[in-house]
């Protein structure tokens, strides 16, 4: 089917198309002008506040980075001081060790203030300065921000230091959370809790604790042997494998004999 030829546009139609084109161009120019005007208005209204926010943000970031670098430098200095203090202590120079950690004890470097107090408390205990040691151990034990293991160690040492002056019930209350198999300080804590139970007339609670200590392979052999004996005295069988116990006794006897023979030479 043949297409009919289009009739030519009249002058009126051509004029209308030209008018529409001019209107489109005009509207685009108006839109551009409006957008530019809005940008200018926004710049006038918010330009300065935005600039202030950007500057403050950059200043805050710079301040944080500076603070972080300062903290890192302080941590390195604290680590060096603690290492030197331990070196002095191993060289039997306790006063020099205390001098090295003195700035850390009242400082704000996480962890190192606690370590400094524990070190000084241990030295005080060795010197027989019971009150000073108890004060320092007590501060760490009561410090909610101190690392858990250090706080537990301080509690254990404090009770050990004051055991003779404490009521058995107080000993149990302080150390019972630590006297749980699998806890890092279980053997030592359980021994004191077990003795407190015996003083309270509760052998039924003491026996199983001492039996657990005797089975704990992380505990020193001397403590395990002592715990096994005490468990037997309070009526708890702590021997799981008689052959193993006999072998251990034979090994200990052989070791003592060898040591005596070497000393005689």
C-alpha 152/C-alpha 49 separation (Å) is 52
Report the Cα 152 to chain-centroid distance in Å.
12
What pLDDT is attached to residue 28?
57
Burial class (CB in 10 A: 0-12, 13-18, 19+), 195: middle
CA distances from 38 to 24, 28, 32, 43, 138 (A): 21, 15, 10, 8, 67
C-alpha 76/C-alpha 67 separation (Å) is 14
Burial class (CB in 10 A: 0-12, 13-18, 19+), 111: middle
What pLDDT is attached to residue 162?
95
What pLDDT is attached to residue 66?
44
What pLDDT is attached to residue 226?
92
What pLDDT is attached to residue 111?
75
Task: Show the beta-strand stretches assigned E in 52-167.
Answer: none
CB within 8 Å of 104: residues ≥ 6 apart: 78, 81, 82, 112, 113, 115, 116
What pLDDT is attached to residue 261?
66
- Which residue positions in the chain have pLDDT lower than 50? 1-5, 26, 30, 34, 42, 50, 52-53, 55-56, 59, 63-70, 241-243, 245-246
Residues in the chain: 265
Contact 197, 168 (CB under 8 A): yes
What φ, ψ does residue 233 adopt, rounded to 5°? -65, -30
């Amino acid at each position: 089917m043949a297409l009919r030829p289009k009739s030519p546009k009249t002058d009126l139609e051509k004029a209308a198309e030209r008018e529409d084109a001019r209107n489109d161009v005009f509207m685009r120019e108006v839109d551009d002008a409006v957008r530019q005007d809005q940008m200018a208005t926004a710049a006038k209204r918010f330009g300065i506040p935005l600039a202030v926010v950007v500057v403050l943000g950059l200043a805050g970031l710079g301040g944080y980075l500076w603070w972080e670098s300062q903290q890192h430098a302080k941590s390195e200095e604290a680590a060096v001081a603690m290492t030197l203090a331990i070196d002095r202590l191993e060289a039997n120079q306790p006063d020099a060790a205390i001098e090295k950690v003195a700035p850390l004890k009242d400082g704000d470097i996480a962890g190192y203030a606690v370590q400094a107090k524990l070190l000084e408390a241990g030295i005080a205990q060795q010197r027989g300065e019971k009150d000073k040691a108890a004060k320092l151990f007590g501060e760490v034990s009561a410090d909610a921000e101190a690392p858990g293991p250090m706080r537990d160690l301080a509690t254990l040492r404090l009770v050990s230091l004051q055991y003779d002056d404490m009521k058995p019930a107080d000993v149990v209350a302080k150390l019972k959370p630590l006297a749980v198999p699998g806890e890092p300080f279980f053997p030592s804590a359980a021994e004191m809790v077990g003795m407190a139970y015996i003083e309270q007339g509760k052998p039924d609670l003491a026996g199983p604790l001492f039996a657990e200590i005797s089975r704990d392979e992380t505990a020193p052999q001397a403590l395990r042997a002592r715990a096994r004996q005490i468990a037997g005295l309070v009526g708890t069988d702590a021997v799981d494998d008689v052959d193993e116990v006999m072998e251990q006794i034979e090994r200990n006897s052989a070791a003592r004999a060898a040591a005596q023979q070497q000393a005689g030479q």
